[in-house]
Amino acid sequence: MRLLRFTPLFSITLSLLLLAGCGGKDESEEKSGLSKLAESAQNMTKAIEEGGNTMMEDKEPQPPVSFRTLLTYLPDQIHEMEQRNPKGETATMGEWNYSQVSADYDGEEGMRATIQIFDYAYIGMLYAPVRMWLKMNINRESTEGFERTTEIAGFPAYEKWTESSQRAEATVLVGERFIVTVKTRNMPQDMPRDIAEHLRLHELAQEKGQPPA
């Protein structure tokens, strides 16, 4: 089963490693830096665990929305780029039931976009990374790009832009259930937000799965 890679966890961990490992420090300073790194890692782990537990307490796992329904939320065209390679699946793995869909969109001069929709049907631990960045209130900007927590169409979201690769992404938690991710390459940095805002997110938030026949 493929899970989303939520980049805030990795980028924040990397930043902490860099801060803890900067040169020119004596042994006591290095120990202090490592202690802070260990404490930060523990805090992130705790946030992930609490995030998953909170979602489990709030919601009972439900039948997932069929991938055929989710596919209807992927537009046929975005910014003159035609949809290609749509994929979807609804699967059961043990006690877990989930659905996911995706599609690519190609344009001129290397422009590309990908849209993914995941329905983890209130399986608490699978939402833990999302709950983590919701609690952390990320806002980082540099010459290399930016990452931040925000809102898109009224739903909590995370955005990232990498200047060197001209890659951008936006991840939206829709109705505390559906995870919608838009990734772009060689397009303006705000394009994932623009694409996400034109998806039918409020309709998606109302979708409910059906028990298997």
Q: Give the pLDDT confidence score for residue 98 in this predicted structure.
A: 93
Domain that holds residue 6: 1-213
Question: Is 12's pLDDT higher than 90?
Answer: no
Nearest of 76, 108, 106, 70 to residue 90 by alpha carbon: 70
- Which has more confidence, 31 or 199? 199
Record the tokens describing residue 84, joined without a space.
């290609």
CA distance 115 to 136: 25
How many CB atoms are located within 10 Å of the residue 87 CB?
13
Instruction: Report pTM.
Output: 0.74
- Which has more confidence, 23 or 85? 85
- Give tens-digit pLDDT for 86-143: 999 999 888 789 999 999 999 988 899 999 999 999 988 888 888 888 788 899 999 9
pLDDT band at 71; cut points 50, 70, 90 = very high
Residue matched to tokens 């003159």: 80
Q: Give the pLDDT confidence score for residue 109 in this predicted structure.
A: 86
Is 156 in contact with 148 (CB distance < 8 Å)? no
CA distance 47 to 129: 9
Give the chain's domain count.
1
CA distance 208 to 196: 21
Average pLDDT, the chain: 80
CA distance 116 to 73: 10
Q: Give the pLDDT confidence score for residue 43 in this predicted structure.
A: 54
CA distance 109 to 111: 6
Q: Give the pLDDT confidence score for residue 132 in this predicted structure.
A: 84
DSSP assignment letter at 186 = S
Question: Is 17's pLDDT higher than 50?
Answer: no
